[in-house]
Structures are given as structure tokens and as C-alpha cells.
Structure 1
């Protein structure tokens, strides 16, 4: 009987040891995954910011586009143009320029027509 009790106790100790070892391994892996996800998010934000600035710069260099009320937002290659322009012909032109920037996968043109003050 003592041998059976001893084997049961040994089995419980073994189960506890295995369970704690498995827990330690899984919790060690989680922080590195979280850290790499954080690094990826940071890199993605940086890439998005650069793409938005590149589109903004291209619009600013284009002849005949008033960029003073145009806002550019980029996310994973998708660019959104918002704001207003004083001339309706500038709306499709701005979209075409944005599509021509390297790294742009799609453009959502939400520009509207609004005359400038003092015009």
C-alpha cells in the first residue's frame, strides 16, 4: 500500500513539473512575439507616414494643383485624399498623381470642390 501511495505522489510531482515547464516555455515565447508585432507595427507606421509624405510632395510639385486644403492619409499602400480644391479639374488630376507614386496600391479620392476665400 505504501508503494502505491509513493507512486501516486511521484506521479503528481511529475505532472506538476511537466506542467510548470510547459507554462514557462509558452510564456517565454509570448513576449518575443509581442515585441516583434510591436516592431512590425512601428515599421508599418513609418512606411505609411513616408508614403503619405511622398504623395503630398508629388501633389505639391504638380502644376495646377492647390494643395493648401488637401490632406493625405496612407495605410498599407492605400491612400485617401480628403479636403477641398478650388477647381473641379484638380480632383481627378490629384488622384492620377497619387496613383503614380511608388508604393501606392489604391487611391480613395474624397476631395470636394470648394472655392477659395477671396476668389
Structure 2
């Protein structure tokens, strides 16, 4: 009877140790994944800020109705500008920012 009890106790101890190691590994993976997501969001925010700054420096471009979204180097411009020529100006300025890999220009012309 003692032998069966020791085998059972040994099995329980082995399961507890295995679960504890698994939980620690998962916690580390989760923490590093969360840090990566946070770093990615920060990088996207910074790139969007750089593009917005570049747009404000373009002579003759009304940026008051332009929204900039950056994700992994891809930039999307949305909103409106008063003339057709400003759509191209905005796209060219965004393409010239370091870190921008592509630009999707969804700007439209609306008389303001």
C-alpha cells in the first residue's frame, strides 16, 4: 500500500513541477509579446508624428483636415484638401519621410 501511495505522490509532484515551469514560460512569453506590441505602437506613433511634421512644412498645403495613420512603415493619409494639387503634395511629402515604406493617399478635394 505504501508503494502505491509513493507512486501517486511522485506523480502529483511531477505534475505540479511541470505546470509551474509551463506557467513561468508562458508568463515570460506574454510579457515579451506585450513589450513588442508596445514598442510597435510607439514606433507607429512616432512615424505618424514625423509624417505630420513633414506635411506642415510643405508650402501651400492645408493640413487642417488631413489625418495621418502609420502602421509598420505603411502610411495612410485621409481627409480633405481644398485643391487637387495638394493631394499630390501631401503624398510626395509623406513618401519623403525616413521609415515610410508605402503611402496610401485617400485624400479628397472639398472646397473649404
Would the TM-score normalized by the shorter structure come out above 0.5?
yes
TM-score when normalising by structure 1: 0.87
Instruction: Show the counterpart of 1:26.
Output: 22
Instruction: Show the counterpart of 1:54.
Output: 50
Matched, 1:64 2:64: no
Q: Count how many residue pairs are aligned between Structure 1 and Structure 2.
A: 112
Q: Which moved more, 1:5-14 or 1:98-107?
A: 5-14
Which has more radius of gyration?
1
Gaps of at least 5 residues in structure 2 are: none
Q: Distance in 2 between matches of 1:107 and 1:113?
A: 18
Instruction: Show the counterpart of 1:114.
Output: 110
How many angstroms does 1:106 deviate by? Answer: 1.2
Q: Distance in 2 between matches of 1:69 and 1:43?
A: 28
Q: Distance in 1 between matches of 2:20 and 2:32?
A: 19
Q: Which moved more, 1:53-62 or 1:26-35?
A: 26-35
How many angstroms does 1:51 deviate by? Answer: 0.4
TM-score when normalising by structure 2: 0.92
Structure 1 segments of 4+ aligned residues over 4 angstroms from their partners: none
RMSD (Å) for aligned C-alpha atoms: 1.2
Instruction: Show the counterpart of 1:36.
Output: 32
Gaps of at least 5 residues in structure 1 are: none
Instruction: Show the counterpart of 1:94.
Output: 90
